């Protein structure tokens, strides 16, 4: 059973009608964990400001890559998942490639070169209006030696007049230039058809897909999010001021921690209610929500020196509802005395009861105290978020738990759990097929025991129930 089948047919509470829905599935074999076929990678390269990120957004069908009419906005190698005509692949956005780059641009160039070395197909993007520049020719010279399939994209072809200018790009020696307008979508469907024609079904051996794990820094205004980002980065990536609300736009930074790159997004602090915000604050709240949705794990910063506020709990609820992994960082721990620690323990027991599974770390962004403990906490949370339990092992465990503690009776009948399956990951989602409704309290009991057995620290776990439809036997 694929994730898609389970998600489409059984995810969420509802009914199921026939044992034939699942009788062909082998739930008794230990280790029948589904194989997740890695997706091939399509790298998008070119000089700065030719519209690479706009094209990436067009290909994946959503606005995730940061776009701005200024050269050099994209600095890091970032991967997104895309599909076309039912085929799945990774799209890797890169910084502008300059052959004689220095300093920051040299680092950007290395990122782009790495993408070319590891990708399964390459789109080299050229501004058709400007025409081939010396940098484009240098890129083409490198790519002509590549064994990886290369497609030449003439971007910014918004009308028929520009198509003639695009034809001049044959001179680069990369074959036919595919005329597109990433902004308007013109020609992108034909381009993607060609991409599928050259892209292998699976990535070549030895390549790695994906990219830095995405972390959202969230919390109320002036809790220390930008200070923490700067401390982790070792430089001033974000503007810090003791006036609340300094950060408005999410700020992306790729930072190396624990020997691996992490993509941190510093978000604006959220007011008590979005309806109380106006203008820039309102849109900052929306962008913060979008940053949480685009992240894999969130670090919620709470000021440990002050009582937990309604604003803290609102942000917590936003993260919990998003289904993201979670680490709670109690900041300004250097200002916490013994009395405050005792009071904070009581507040945690009272106010954070919704997320007892969240990883907790006590830090000081100002002094750097214990910030190195964030990486192990993030690793644990993400490992739980990605975790998949083999169906055989899951049902063996469930049978033992239900035998020891049966569900409560409803209407004089004892509901039976026929079997369970993990419908998906990120977050781990489980579906129980039953003969009767399971009380919310019993579901919470199963979630607690599930966590104890399989260790889902740092990640939410979702359990839904499918109740067998009652059939009228007299009509047979």
Q: Is 158 annotated as a binding residue?
A: yes
Q: Is 230 annotated as a binding residue?
A: no
Q: Is 368 annotated as a binding residue?
A: no
d(CA 40, CA 280): 39
Q: Is 392 annotated as a binding residue?
A: no
427: its two tokens: 């977050």
Those residues with Cβ within 8 angstroms of residue 394's Cβ, 6 or more apart along the chain or in another chain: 420, 421, 422, 430
Q: Is 362 annotated as a binding residue?
A: no
Q: Is 334 annotated as a binding residue?
A: yes
- Residue with the two structure tokens 């918004």: 158
CB atoms inside a 10 Å sphere around CB 215 = 29
Q: Is 147 annotated as a binding residue?
A: no
Q: Is 50 annotated as a binding residue?
A: yes
Q: Is 248 annotated as a binding residue?
A: no
Query: Contact, 361 vs 331, CB < 8 A?
Result: no
Q: Is 332 annotated as a binding residue?
A: yes
Q: Is 247 annotated as a binding residue?
A: no
Q: Is 49 annotated as a binding residue?
A: yes
Q: Is 224 annotated as a binding residue?
A: yes
Q: Is 120 annotated as a binding residue?
A: no
Neighbour-count burial of 156, counting CB atoms closer than 10 A to its CB (0-12 exposed, 13-18 middle, 19+ buried): buried
Q: Is 157 annotated as a binding residue?
A: yes
Which DSSP string do the residues of 370-385 spell out, in sequence order? Answer: TGGGHHHHHHHHHHHH
d(CA 158, CA 184): 7
CA 114 to chain centre: 22
Comparing CA positions, the residue from 72, 91, 94 lying closest to residue 81 is 91
- Residue 201 DSSP code: S
Q: Is 297 annotated as a binding residue?
A: no
Q: Is 102 annotated as a binding residue?
A: no
Q: Is 221 annotated as a binding residue?
A: yes
Comparing CA positions, the residue from 91, 3, 106 lying closest to residue 45 is 91
Q: Is 93 annotated as a binding residue?
A: yes
Q: Is 333 annotated as a binding residue?
A: yes
CB atoms inside a 10 Å sphere around CB 338 = 7
* b/e map 361-370, b = 16+ CB within 10 Å: bbbbbbeebe
Q: Is 48 annotated as a binding residue?
A: yes
C-alpha separations of 135 from 99, 127, 128 in Å: 7, 12, 14
Q: Is 266 annotated as a binding residue?
A: yes
d(CA 81, CA 261): 19
Q: Is 211 annotated as a binding residue?
A: no
368: its two tokens: 């750097």
Q: Is 97 annotated as a binding residue?
A: yes
Q: Is 279 annotated as a binding residue?
A: no
Q: Is 357 annotated as a binding residue?
A: no
CA atoms within 13 A on the CB side of 411: 5
CA atoms within 13 A on the CB side of 155: 23
Which residues define the annotated binding site? 46-53, 93-97, 155-158, 219-226, 266-270, 331-334
Which residues define the annotated binding site for GTP? 46-53, 93-97, 155-158, 219-226, 266-270, 331-334
């Amino acid at each position: 059973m694929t994730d898609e089948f389970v998600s489409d047919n059984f995810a969420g509470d509802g009914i199921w009608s026939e044992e034939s829905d699942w009788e062909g599935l082998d739930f008794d074999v230990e280790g029948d964990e589904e194989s997740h076929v890695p997706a091939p990678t399509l790298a998008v390269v070119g000089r700065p400001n030719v519209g690479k990120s706009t094209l990436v957004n067009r290909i994946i069908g959503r606005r995730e890559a940061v776009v701005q009419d200024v050269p050099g906005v994209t600095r890091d190698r970032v991967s997104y998942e895309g599909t076309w005509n039912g085929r799945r692949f990774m799209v890797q956005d890169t910084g502008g490639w300059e052959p004689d780059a220095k300093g920051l641009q040299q680092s950007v160039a290395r990122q782009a070169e790495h993408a070319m070395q590891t990708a399964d197909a390459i789109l080299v993007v050229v501004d058709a209006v400007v025409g081939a520049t010396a940098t484009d020719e240098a890129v083409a010279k490198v790519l002509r030696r590549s064994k990886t399939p290369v497609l030449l994209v003439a971007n910014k072809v918004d009308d028929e007049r520009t198509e003639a200018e695009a034809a001049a790009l044959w001179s680069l020696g990369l074959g036919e230039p595919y005329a597109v307008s990433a902004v308007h979508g013109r020609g992108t469907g034909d381009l993607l058809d060609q991409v599928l024609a050259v892209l292998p079904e699976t990535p070549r051996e030895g390549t790695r897909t994906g990219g830095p794990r995405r972390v959202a820094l969230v919390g109320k205004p002036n809790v220390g999010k930008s200070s923490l980002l700067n401390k982790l980065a070792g430089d001033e990536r974000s503007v810090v001021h003791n006036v609340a609300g300094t950060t408005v736009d999410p700020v992306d930074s790729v930072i190396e921690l624990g020997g691996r790159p992490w993509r941190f997004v510093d978000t604006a602090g959220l007011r008590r209610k979005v309806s109380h915000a106006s203008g820039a604050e309102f849109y900052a709240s929306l962008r913060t929500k979008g940053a949480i949705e685009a992240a894999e794990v969130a670090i919620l910063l709470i000021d440990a020196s002050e009582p937990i506020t309604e604003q803290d709990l609102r942000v917590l609820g936003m993260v919990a509802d998003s289904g993201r992994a979670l680490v709670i960082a109690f900041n300004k721990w250097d200002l916490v005395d013994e009395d405050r620690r005792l009071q904070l323990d009581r507040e945690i027991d009272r106010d954070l009861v919704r997320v007892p599974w969240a990883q907790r770390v006590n830090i000081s962004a100002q002094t750097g105290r214990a910030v190195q403990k964030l990486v192990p906490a993030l690793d644990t949370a993400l490992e739980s978020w990605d975790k998949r339990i083999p169906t055989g092992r899951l049902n063996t465990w469930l049978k033992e738990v239900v035998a020891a503690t049966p569900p409560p009776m409803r209407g004089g009948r004892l509901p039976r759990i026929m079997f369970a399956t993990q419908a998906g990951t990120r977050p781990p989602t489980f579906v129980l097929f039953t003969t009767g409704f399971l009380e919310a309290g019993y579901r919470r009991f199963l979630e607690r025991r599930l966590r104890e057995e399989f260790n889902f620290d740092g990640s939410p776990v979702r359990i839904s129930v499918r109740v067998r439809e009652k059939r009228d036997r007299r009509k047979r």
